[in-house]
Amino acid sequence: MGKFPDIERLGFDLSEEQRAIRETMARFAVERLAPGAAERDRSAEFPAALVSELAALGGMAMKTSTMDEGPGADNLAYALAVEAVARADASVAVIMVASNLSAAILAANATEDQRNRFLRPVARGERGALSFGLTEPGAGSDAAAIRTTARSQGDTWIIDGTKQWITGAAGAEVFVIFAKTPEAGEGAVTCFIVEADAPGFSLGRVEDKMGLRSSGTAQLHFNGVRVPAANVVGQVGQGYRVALGALAPSRVAIAAQSLGIAERAFELGLSYAQERQVFGQPVAAFQNSRFVLADMRCALDQAWLLMLRAARLLDNGIPIRGEASMAKLVASETCGRVVDQMLQLHGGNGYSREYEIERLYRDARVMRIYEGTSEIQREVIARDLLGN
């Protein structure tokens, strides 16, 4: 893996702490993740040991403050860390993003008891990744359509239902999940912490996916799962507010993941075009190849700027909605174009599993789907513009 983009050339100065976090994650990615990424893709085995190593570096609760024993990284440092990890293994990067999303929800809403039991052990690296559970078989982009329910019974909540496409579920011990709580009002949703050993809780099938194959994406089944009232996150009936508070930063993280995949693909395409000989010349000697490289570098820098802007706004305490969706939309769609064009430069070899670009092509496709599809991002941007 080659050099990382010089952020200063994009007009963003990095602090020593931000540099250190980026370098630490880049070193881990190159030394520990990259060597076995292809084999993990083939086996689709959840990388439990590597997740534990990344957790020990603070990677599963990066923005958790030092008060809660986490690294206390800002949004910019976190985005750079996700990008570095995604270059080597996008499956591990998305496990990281899901865990940090859950950690951010706990950091913003958890009680002191919940922090001691669930957040601080992850921040210290004593526990692996957290998992975030909102999506259901009939509720993806339409989060209001979830059907998992929770009903109170004394000081306990009883949860029934099914979650689907839950990232990192195959290796998680703690889940931050959302369920309808009708007694709190029509359409009311509440956030709960559910432990993997809770009676009535079970892991469903692990999805056999096109890409991100080792991210442990699975179904969750709740069959009368009893959860103590002490595991309610935030206020009963305020689950949407809890989720939405962490959504924009998480979309910025997915933009960073998209850039990691795309930057690695660009690096591979550039190297291949310089080395591969056709008609007695390197592929890069032909004008159409040179123009592709130029156009994709421009597109990548544009996506970087939108992602970095969103992260910087968050760090300055400025609420973002449209900016987060712009970053996610442009980065994910740029990722798709860049990987496609770099595979094209590889010719027939790009279609072979012997070449890394083939894996990146499969990993890239879901970037335009999860954490809000491209269509949803456009709707959010339009509503922001129109003041809806």
33, amino acid identity: L
Q: What are phi and psi of 14, to 5 degrees?
A: -105, 140
- Extract the tokens encoding 12: 């963003």
Given the residues 333, 371, 375, 379, the one annotated as active site = 371
CA distances from 250 to 42, 107, 257, 307 (A): 28, 14, 10, 11
- Residue 323 known to be catalytic: no
Neighbours of 179 (CB within 10 A): 28
Neighbours of 219 (CB within 10 A): 19
Distance CA 136, CA 220 (A): 9
The H-or-E segment that residue 50 falls in is helix 48-56
Cross-strand pairs, 152: 157
CA 38 to chain centre: 20
282 half-sphere exposure, CB direction, 13 A CA radius: 10
62, amino acid identity: M
CA 99 to chain centre: 8
- Extract the tokens encoding 181: 């709580």
* Contact assessment for residue 70 and residue 64, using Cβ atoms and an 8 Å cutoff: yes
Query: 181 CB contacts (<8 Å, ≥6 apart)?
Result: 149, 150, 151, 152, 157, 188, 189, 190, 236, 237, 239
* Contact assessment for residue 331 and residue 253, using Cβ atoms and an 8 Å cutoff: no
- Extract the tokens encoding 163: 């979650």
* Contact assessment for residue 257 and residue 83, using Cβ atoms and an 8 Å cutoff: yes
* Residues marked as catalytic: 371
